[in-house]
């Protein structure tokens, strides 16, 4: 199932991790990434203001593509594209 984000991009998976620790978010994102096809997009919804930078680092380290962040009141929606 695909979910449309506010910028018109579609995500294959949505990881809602509001209030979770960064290590929990990264573990859940890694688990979900293997469930989407290569080229697929995962959207992470987080209340942690530093999560966008953390995921940018994570994508560079693992070879995925950081597509950007949509800031909303109280949370961020971060889009990551699976590359491998």
Confidence band of 6 (pLDDT split at 50, 70, 90): low
pLDDT band at 8 (very low <50, low <70, confident <90, very high): low
Burial of 72 (0-12, 13-18, 19+ CB in 10 A): exposed
- pTM given for the model: 0.84
Residue-range domain boundaries for the chain: 3-81
The pLDDT, as a whole number, for residue 69 is 95
User: What is 3-81's CATH number, 3.30.110.40, 3.30.70.2190, 3.20.20.140, 1.10.1060.10?
Assistant: 3.30.110.40
Give me the pLDDT at residue 51, please: 94
Burial bucket for residue 20 (CB in 10 Å: 0-12, 13-18, 19+): middle
Q: In the structure encoding, which two tokens stand for residue 39, read together?
A: 């080229």
pLDDT tens digits for 22-68? 889 999 999 999 999 999 999 999 999 899 999 999 999 999 999 99
């Amino acid at each position: 199932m695909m979910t449309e984000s506010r910028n018109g991009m579609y995500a294959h998976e949505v990881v809602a991790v509001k209030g979770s620790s960064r290590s929990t978010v990264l573990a859940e994102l890694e688990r979900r990434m293997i469930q989407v096809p290569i080229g697929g997009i995962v959207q992470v919804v987080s209340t942690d203001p530093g999560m966008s930078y953390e995921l940018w680092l994570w994508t560079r380290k693992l070879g995925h593509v950081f597509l950007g962040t949509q800031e909303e009141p109280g949370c961020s929606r971060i889009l990551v594209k699976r590359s491998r």
